[in-house]
Amino acid sequence: MATVVLPRSLVALFPGAPRQLRVDGKTVADVLDSVDREVPGLRNRLCDSRTSLRPHINVFVDGAPAELETIVASDGVVHVIPAVSGG
């Protein structure tokens, strides 16, 4: 199972949701679908369509920048991190 680490500002939108969870998935898209089953609605916050992450959402797989189609190893670590922006 992959480990997914979510940002505080995202988890705060879903009362009771954990910052870190372990889910199945062969790609980042699969992993986010699995997370969405545990925390309904979370995928909508990270993706603006089935095929793309929102512009200011960064995902890293085992420390490397990733996209939705990036492969995730069975013991991989997926970090979701909001980009530095805003004012």
Partner 1 sequence: MGERVTLLVGTRKGAFLVEPDGEPNDGSIRGPLCEGWPIHDMAVDPATGAIVAAGGNEWYGPAVFRSDDRGATWSHSSEGLAYGEDADKITTVWNVTPAHGAIYAGVEPAGLFRSDDGGATWQHVEGLTSHPTRPRWEPGAGGLCLHSIVPHPDDPDRLWVGISAVGTFETRDGGQTWDTRNQGVRADFVPGPPPEFGQCVHKLVMAADGGQHLYQQNHCGVYRSSDGGRQWHEITAGLPSEFGFPMAAHPRDPRTVWTIPLNGADRGRYAPEGSLSVWRTEDGGESWSASGEGLPQRDAFVGVLREAMAVDDRDPVGVYFGTSTGQLYASRDEGRSWRLLADNLPSIWSVEAAVLD
Using CB under 8 A as the criterion, which residues of the chain lie in contact with partner 1 when the complex forms? 9-10, 12-13, 15, 41, 44-46, 48-51, 54, 56-57, 82-83, 85-86
Least distance between partner 1 and beta carbon 47 (Å) = 9
Instruction: Round to whole Å and give the CA distance between 37 and 83.
Output: 25
Cβ proximity to partner 1, 12 vs 64, nearer residue? 12
Cβ-Cβ contacts under 8 Å for 53 (sequence gap 6 or more):
46, 47, 59, 67, 68
Cβ proximity to partner 1, 24 vs 69, nearer residue? 69
CB 56, CB 83: distance < 8 Å: yes
Least distance between partner 1 and beta carbon 56 (Å) = 5
